């Protein structure tokens, strides 16, 4: 049973057990709602009956019923307390575990996954879907199970007592259930469309936030806002349609439930007039009918969330089913040579980005990857850090296939600086300290000086404590890049990947940082990607790529003598400078 619940509702072992407890206590609470009716039945029959019939004597005094009433109230309070703890508090704990589990799943995915996936889609799954599941599992799902169990138990007891009155109470339940089952397919289809339209809105808003600079620069605000308005209008219409459909079904079922009370009144009056039941039984069934539908009404009020349940759970299942990268955690390389052996790679089936790429980036040397745009330079660098896994061939680090190494373990050996810098909305000091969490202030300042950051940082209002805004919005492109280089210097890993790391710098600062990098890379493996020939002029090895293949390999002088692609690239850049 626990395994079925875990699979069906994406629960942990503890979550499945807590769910069962929640159903149990909610069932007990639903049954305890009959206590007032039982109390009044006993009170009317024993204590008030002598008022109507003086020949009947009271068996228990007023204090007995006061104590009995307090006892019933105490039992209901205790059950409600346990029910709240196991249905709400435990659900919130499970929701926290679900979010942590999703975050852990994302942590283990290839880093390339995040370049392919829409950010708003991931955010909606982790935040919105988890929140809605939390609400559904605290307000609807346990109550649904508990309502079914409690109604069966109460129904058995009532039918053994008086089947005619019980039938008058319960006939509306299967009819209401039939209405819901008939509408389920329609609701599910409608909810799926609503869900997708809502995602389109979040994606459109995210697109606007990500590209606000380009939208303004090219006077596309009007076009973007018109597209957003269209998307919002479609979503609004679908939302209204979904709400109306769900509202009609909920109101129909609740109206049917109210017919149950009318049935009890009519059937009870008929039986009472014929003497088949007495007044007290009639009153008790009226009280039961007025309260027994409350748990069902609560479930119906969350009917839309219940029908959304499968859609959201499917999203969680999709996330959990994503393939993760595994490998050994204990890795100590014999050396830090990176070897590409006949590497083939494609982002899409049938469209190779790299074909039979083979080269060696030796420890203590700078290996430069050059070539025209789209030739596979950045892809090669990212494959070297296992951001993706190759389709065929091998990439070795210290004679060990990196496919066999756990990504986080592998990346401890890498310092990476890409052209697109990501900074956090915190202080400059903390942004540099990303490279080494426990670094002292003195270590941070040292690498900041090496990366030519110290001068502009000290001109800021609060120096190294200055908050730089979301993604470093208060900094220039060159300043952001230098902070990124300072991080890499601070990490001081044995392998350094530089992908257009100096692209945003002027000639003067690029020269200064090249000197700092020269100190950093001593006895380390360096792979550098650059379009500026002067950036790679002193590289020990230059690998020239074209159309995903290695076409030339050697140092600067050797490649110039070959009078091939590299030589032509140097000539074109010299001509452009002149």
pLDDT digits (tens, 9 = 90+) for 486-526: 898 899 899 999 887 666 566 666 676 676 667 667 778 99
The 10 Å Cβ neighbour count of residue 268 is 25
Phi then psi dihedrals of residue 419, to 5 deg: -65, -40
Write out the residue range of the structural domain in which residue 483 sits. 338-577
Does 154 share its domain with 249? yes
Per-residue pLDDT, 404:
92
Residue 21 has pLDDT above 90, yes or no: no
Interatomic CA distance for residues 223 and 342, integer angstroms: 47
Interatomic CA distance for residues 336 and 110, integer angstroms: 22
Which of 321, 351, 385 is at the close of a domain?
321
Interatomic CA distance for residues 575 and 578, integer angstroms: 5
Residue 37 has pLDDT above 80, yes or no: no
Interatomic CA distance for residues 101 and 118, integer angstroms: 20
Interatomic CA distance for residues 213 and 215, integer angstroms: 6
Q: Which tokens hold the place of 494?
A: 């044995």
Pairing label, strands 392-397, 366-370: unpaired
Per-residue pLDDT, 39:
82
Q: Which tokens hold the place of 339?
A: 């070897």
315 forms beta bridges with none
Interacting residues of 346 by C-beta distance below 8 A, sequence separation 6+: 352, 353, 354, 391
- Decide if 327 is inside a domain: no
Does 183 share its domain with 302? yes
Residue 484 has pLDDT above 70, yes or no: yes
Angle at 387 between CA 211 and CA 526, to 5 degrees: 100
How many residues are present in the chain?
Answer: 578
369 forms beta bridges with 529, 543
Provide the number of structural domains found in the chain. 2
| pLDDT tens sequence across 258-282 | 888 889 899 989 988 888 887 778 8
- Decide if 331 is inside a domain: no
Average pLDDT value for the chain: 83
The 10 Å Cβ neighbour count of residue 254 is 16
Per-residue pLDDT, 115:
63
Which of 274, 291, 321 is at the close of a domain?
321
Strands of 450-540 (E only): list them.
Answer: 495-499, 525-529
Where is pLDDT greater, at 418 or 84?
A: 84
Task: Tell me how far the alpha carbon of residue 39 is from its chain's centroid.
Answer: 49
Average pLDDT over residues 236-241: 90
- Decide if 326 is inside a domain: no
Q: Which tokens hold the place of 265?
A: 């009144």
Does 180 share its domain with 215? yes
Give the helix ranges, DSSP H, for 327-426.
377-384, 407-411
Average pLDDT over residues 378-401: 91
Using pLDDT thresholds of 50, 70 and 90, give the confidence band for residue 340: very high
Interatomic CA distance for residues 383 and 345, integer angstroms: 9
Does 147 share its domain with 278? yes
Per-residue pLDDT, 74:
93
CATH number of domain containing 28? 1.20.1560.10
Per-residue pLDDT, 504:
58
Does 260 share its domain with 114? yes
- Decide if 149 is inside a domain: yes
Does 453 share its domain with 395? yes
Where is pLDDT greater, at 185 or 527?
A: 527
Does 355 share its domain with 382? yes
| pLDDT tens sequence across 118-142 | 666 777 777 777 787 887 888 778 8
Which of 321, 348, 374 is at the close of a domain?
321
Question: Do 548 and 375 meet the contact criterion of CB atoms below 8 Å apart?
Answer: yes
Interatomic CA distance for residues 550 and 10, integer angstroms: 47
Nearest residue to 484 via CA among 532, 535, 433, 531: 433
- Decide if 211 is inside a domain: yes
Per-residue pLDDT, 333:
87
Average pLDDT over residues 393-419: 90
Average pLDDT over residues 88-113: 80
Does 273 share its domain with 401? no
525 forms beta bridges with 495
Tell me the whole-structure pTM to 2 decimals.
0.67
Does 286 share its domain with 401? no
Q: What is the 3-state secondary structure (H, E, C) of 46-86?
A: HHHHHHHCCCCCCCCCHHHHHHHHHHHHHHHHHHHHHHHHH
Per-residue pLDDT, 561:
84
Question: Do 285 and 165 meet the contact criterion of CB atoms below 8 Å apart?
Answer: yes
- Decide if 330 is inside a domain: no
Lowest mean per-residue pLDDT among 103-112, 140-149, 457-466? 103-112
Average pLDDT over residues 189-199: 84
């Amino acid at each position: 049973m626990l395994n079925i619940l875990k699979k069906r509702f994406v629960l942990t072992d503890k979550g499945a057990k807590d769910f069962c407890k929640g159903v149990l206590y909610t069932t007990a609470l639903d049954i305890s709602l009959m206590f007032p009716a039982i109390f009044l039945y006993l009170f009317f029959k024993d204590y008030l009956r002598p008022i109507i019939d003086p020949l009947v004597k009271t068996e228990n005094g007023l204090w007995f019923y006061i104590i009995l009433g307090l006892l019933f109230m105490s039992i209901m309070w205790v059950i409600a307390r346990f029910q709240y703890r196991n249905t709400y508090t435990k659900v919130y704990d499970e929701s926290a575990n679900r979010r942590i589990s999703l975050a852990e799943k994302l942590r283990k995915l290839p880093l390339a996954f995040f370049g392919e996936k829409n950010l708003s889609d991931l955010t909606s799954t982790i935040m919105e879907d988890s929140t809605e599941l939390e609400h559904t599992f605290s307000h609807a799902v346990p109550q649904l199970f508990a309502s079914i169990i409690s109604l069966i138990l109460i129904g058995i007891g009532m039918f053994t007592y008086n089947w005619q009155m019980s039938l008058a109470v319960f006939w509306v339940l299967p009819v209401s259930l039939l209405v819901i089952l008939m509408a389920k397919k329609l609701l599910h289809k409608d909810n799926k469309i609503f869900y997708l339209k809502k995602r389109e809105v979040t994606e459109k808003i995210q697109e606007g936030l990500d590209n606000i600079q380009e939208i303004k620069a090219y006077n596309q605000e009007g076009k973007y806002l018109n597209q957003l308005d269209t998307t919002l209008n479609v979503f609004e219409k679908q939302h209204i349609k979904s709400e109306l459909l769900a509202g009609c079904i909920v109101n129909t079922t609740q109206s049917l439930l109210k017919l149950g009370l009318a049935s009890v009144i009519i059937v009870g009056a008929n039986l009472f007039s014929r003497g088949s039941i007495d007044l007290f039984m009639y009153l008790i069934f009226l009280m039961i009918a007025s309260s027994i539908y409350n748990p069902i009404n609560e479930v119906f009020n969350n009917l839309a969330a219940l029908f959304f349940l499968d859609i959201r759970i499917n999203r969680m299942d999709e996330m959990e089913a994503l393939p993760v990268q595994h490998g050994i955690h204990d890795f100590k390389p014999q050396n830090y040579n990176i070897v590409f052996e006949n590497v083939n790679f494609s982002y899409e089936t049938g469209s190779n980005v790299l074909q039979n790429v083979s080269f060696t980036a030796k420890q203590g040397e700078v290996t430069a990857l050059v070539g025209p745009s789209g030739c596979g330079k950045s892809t090669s660098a990212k494959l070297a850090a296992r951001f993706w896994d190759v389709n065929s061939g091998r990439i070795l680090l210290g004679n060990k296939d990196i496919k066999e190494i756990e990504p986080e373990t592998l990346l401890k050996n890498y310092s990476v600086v890409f052209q697109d810098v990501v900074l956090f909305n915190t202080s400059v000091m903390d942004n540099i300290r990303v490279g080494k969490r426990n670094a002292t202030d003195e270590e941070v300042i040292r690498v900041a000086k090496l990366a030519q950051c110290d001068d502009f940082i000290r001109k800021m209002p609060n120096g190294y404590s200055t908050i730089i805004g979301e993604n470093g919005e208060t900094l220039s492109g060159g300043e952001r890049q230098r902070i990124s280089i300072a991080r890499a210097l601070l990490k001081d890993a044995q392998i350094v990947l530089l992908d257009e790391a100096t692209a945003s710098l002027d000639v003067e600062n690029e020269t200064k940082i090249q000197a700092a990098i020269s100190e950093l890379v001593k006895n380390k493996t360096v792979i550098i990607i650059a379009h500026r020939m002067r950036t790679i002029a002193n590289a020990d090895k230059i690998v020239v790529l074209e159309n995903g293949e290695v076409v030339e390999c050697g140092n600067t002088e050797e490649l110039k003598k070959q009078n091939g692609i590299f030589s032509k690239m140097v000539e074109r850049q010299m001509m452009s400078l002149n």
